[in-house]
Amino acid sequence: MPNPDPALLKATPKQLHIQGTWKNATANRTMQVDNPATNTPLCTVADATPQDAQAALTAARAAQRTWAATPPRTRSEILHRAHELTRARTEDLALLMTLEMGKPLAEARGEVTYAAEFLRWFAEEAVRIDGGYATSPDGRNRHLVLRQPVGPCLLITPWNFPLAMAARKIGPAAAAGCTMVLKPAPQTPLSSLALTGILAEAGLPPGVLNTVTTSDAAGLVEPLLRGGGIRKLSFTGSTEVGRTLLAQCADTVVRTSLELGGNAPFLVFGDADLDAAVDGAMIAKMRNMGEACTAANRIYVHRSVADEFATRLTARMSTLTVGDGTDPGTDVGPLIDAAGRAKVESLVRDAVERGAKVLTGGELPPGEGNFYPPTVLAEVPRDAALTSTEIFGPVAALFTFDDEDEVVAAANDTQWGLVSYVFTRDLDRALRVGERLETGMVGLNTGLVSNPAAPFGGVKQSGLGREGGRVGIEEFLEYKYLAVPTGS
Ligand code: NAP
């Protein structure tokens, strides 16, 4: 039986966080949060209006100057404390995430660690913001180069990694000296509200982080972006919404970072270590039930090993246990909602109608919840809809290839360019193919690339900018140069 833990839900903040105070939304509006494992309500949270969002922005603007002038060491120590508090509350945060989002508890614990590591990484980066001092080539000027925070930021996050995506933005923005308005996804507000509470407890001053939960994202966000008070948008979500927001940002020339959708190709060459390739595919495909921008969407296997790879992958996929994520025996939780499950079901049906073979799964289970079984499809035709759509579910689609040029061309034949995976024992080929793949990240003989210390992000329509690594904080900093005549 699922364990909704009433005490934990009761203790989790459910109001808006504006100017350091928890507040109800205007007219006490609320919205419901559901458990995707049972499709039953968990609780309600505040449902912000455009007026509430304006109040959040006003608070962020008012706090900007003081926060920018706060010593980097102080900003760093607050983030260090937030990292420690997050780690100390792993069990509560993990359960909260599983309840609102569905992922198995073990994966939710992993996400808490991942999120906390972003806070630690950017606590370390806060004190490493540097500048420059140079003499101009003609000797007439000194050039002083400063790095300054870009200003109040709007952070918009998706439901699939509700804690990590918020931490990946709050960490660098706070470290750089920016104030923020955070708008989490309506399906998963609780993780963001809990993280907001942790940052306040860690000492983040009032107004620096303002969190607004809402069922009216478009109604809130467009006026904020067009109003001129936001200086930076950092968005993680679908390419479709990213495009809309980019157009809105163009009108007031708001700086923009976009982490958008993916359609990752996963290449297994004939000389690959097949055990490693199957392990990698299990991670790249099944992490988060396949609801990840990094999920292997198209698995291309060399003809010489295609049958063996399919047999081994099917053996692994068919033994996974599907169930409520709060059950310790569960490997695969529910999808986020009925619409998400219906999309996966229709993509599988389309592939099968076009000739794909179902090696395991493919049948909807009876009963409550948005469950979809781990599924392997072999001999998927290249015109199947799932080749050009994010599956966002536990479905491994296998394609066969014969040579390197052919598979690189197929892998690159997409509007997306977030991540790709290559399995081969030939180092030269690994590097050659890695260089040719049009993605921002490449996993060589690994199914996991996400790491707070590395620059995460995509090319083509998978986004603009990077999160994490040494460059993550750059997204929240401006250059300013002072010209000083040498005689003065
Ligand atoms: P989504 O529908 O694009 O929503 C993302 C966020 O944007 C939500 O908070 C959503 O709120 C908000 N939003 C939607 N329309 C908006 C609008 N017109 N104006 C302002 N905000 C708006 O994406 P999702 O379904 O939550 O997340 C899945 C997508 O995120 C996938 O495509 C996945 O690949 C991508 N993703 C990318 C990365 C990465 O790092 N590249 C990481 C994780 C996920 P509402 O739901 O209320 O509309």
As a three-state string, the secondary structure of 471-483 is CHHHHHEEEEEEE
- Alpha-carbon torsion angle 127, 253, 164, 261, nearest 10: -140
Domain that holds residue 429: 264-451
Residue 210, strand partner residues:
181
CA–CA distance, 296 with 281 (Å, rounded to integer): 7
CA–CA distance, 219 with 480 (Å, rounded to integer): 34
CATH code of 61's domain: 3.40.605.10
CATH code of 447's domain: 3.40.309.10
Q: Tokens standing for 365?
A: 């289970």
Task: Find the 183 Cα to ligand 1 centroid distance in Å.
Answer: 11
Task: Find the 271 Cα to ligand 1 centroid distance in Å.
Answer: 38
Same domain, 291 and 429: yes
Nearest Cα residue to 208 out of 22, 78, 51, 61: 61
Same domain, 224 and 328: no
Task: Find the 220 Cα to ligand 1 centroid distance in Å.
Answer: 15
Same domain, 245 and 298: no
Mutate to test the pocket of ligand 1, among 214, 230, 238 (most ligand atoms within 8 A of CB): 238
Same domain, 151 and 65: yes
Task: Find the 239 Cα to ligand 1 centroid distance in Å.
Answer: 8
Same domain, 256 and 268: no
Q: Tokens standing for 38?
A: 């049972």
Q: What are the backbone dihedrals phi and psi of residue 335, each rounded to the nearest 5 degrees, phi first?
A: -75, 170
Mutate to test the pocket of ligand 1, among 156, 168, 191, 388 (most ligand atoms within 8 A of CB): 156
- The contacts found for 236-242 with CB under 8 angstroms, 24 or more apart, are 236/156, 236/157, 236/158, 236/165, 236/168, 236/169, 236/260, 237/156, 237/157, 237/158, 237/185, 238/158, 239/415, 239/416, 239/461, 239/462, 242/463
Task: Find the 238 Cα to ligand 1 centroid distance in Å.
Answer: 5
CA–CA distance, 429 with 445 (Å, rounded to integer): 12
Angle between helices 189-201 and 162-176 (to 10 degrees): 40
Same domain, 382 and 306: yes
Model pTM score: 0.98
Looking at residue 1, what is its pLDDT? 41
**Residue in the block written with tokens 């948008």:** 233
Residue nearest to atom 10 of ligand 1 (CA): 185
CA–CA distance, 169 with 156 (Å, rounded to integer): 9
Looking at residue 2, what is its pLDDT? 47
Same domain, 253 and 386: no
Please give the chain's pLDDT, 488 residues, in tens: 445 688 999 999 999 999 999 999 999 999 999 999 999 999 999 999 999 999 999 999 999 999 999 999 999 999 999 999 999 999 999 999 999 999 999 999 999 999 999 999 999 999 999 999 999 999 999 999 999 999 999 999 999 999 999 999 999 999 999 999 999 999 999 999 999 999 999 999 999 999 999 999 999 999 999 999 999 999 999 999 999 999 999 999 999 999 999 999 999 999 999 999 999 999 999 999 999 999 999 999 999 999 999 999 999 999 999 999 999 999 999 999 999 999 999 999 999 999 999 999 999 999 999 999 999 999 999 999 999 999 999 999 999 999 999 999 999 999 999 999 999 999 999 999 999 999 999 999 999 999 999 999 999 999 999 999 999 999 999 999 999 999 86
Residue nearest to atom 13 of ligand 1 (CA): 217
Is 456 a member of any domain?
no
CA–CA distance, 269 with 274 (Å, rounded to integer): 9
Overall number of domains in the chain: 2
**Residue in the block written with tokens 């392990």:** 279
Is 457 a member of any domain?
no
Is 1 a member of any domain?
no
Task: Report which ligand 1 atom has the smallest distance to the Cα of 467.
Answer: 40
What end-to-end distance do the CA atoms of the chain give, in Å?
A: 76
Residue nearest to atom 22 of ligand 1 (CA): 217
The helix (H) or strand (E) run that includes residue 151 is: none
Looking at residue 452, what is its pLDDT? 98
**Residue in the block written with tokens 């392997």:** 376
Same domain, 81 and 210: yes
Q: Which of 100, 259, 474, 475 is catalytic?
A: 259
Q: In 6-49, which ranges are continuous DSSP H helix?
A: 6-11
Residue nearest to atom 9 of ligand 1 (CA): 185
Is 161 a member of any domain?
yes
Is 487 a member of any domain?
no
Is 225 a member of any domain?
yes
With a Cβ cut-off of 6 Å, ligand 1 is lined by 156-161, 165, 183, 185-186, 217-218, 221, 236-238, 241, 244-245, 259-262, 293, 390, 418, 458, 463
Is 332 a member of any domain?
yes
Q: Distances in Å between the alpha carbon of 149 and those of 47, 128, 175? A: 30, 14, 9
Query: Do 458 and 260 form a contact (C-beta atoms < 8 A)?
Result: yes
Same domain, 248 and 283: no
Task: Report which ligand 1 atom has the smallest distance to the Cα of 215.
Answer: 47
In the residue annotation, 249 being an active-site residue is answered as no
Nearest Cα residue to 385 out of 340, 335, 341, 346: 346
Task: Report which ligand 1 atom has the smallest distance to the Cα of 185.
Answer: 9
Same domain, 39 and 54: yes
Q: Distances in Å between the alpha carbon of 9 and those of 38, 164, 190, 331? A: 16, 20, 9, 24
Is 97 a member of any domain?
yes
Same domain, 333 and 238: no
Query: Do 217 and 243 form a contact (C-beta atoms < 8 A)?
Result: no
In the residue annotation, 363 being an active-site residue is answered as no
Q: Which of 153, 293, 474, 475 is catalytic?
A: 293
Same domain, 13 and 60: yes
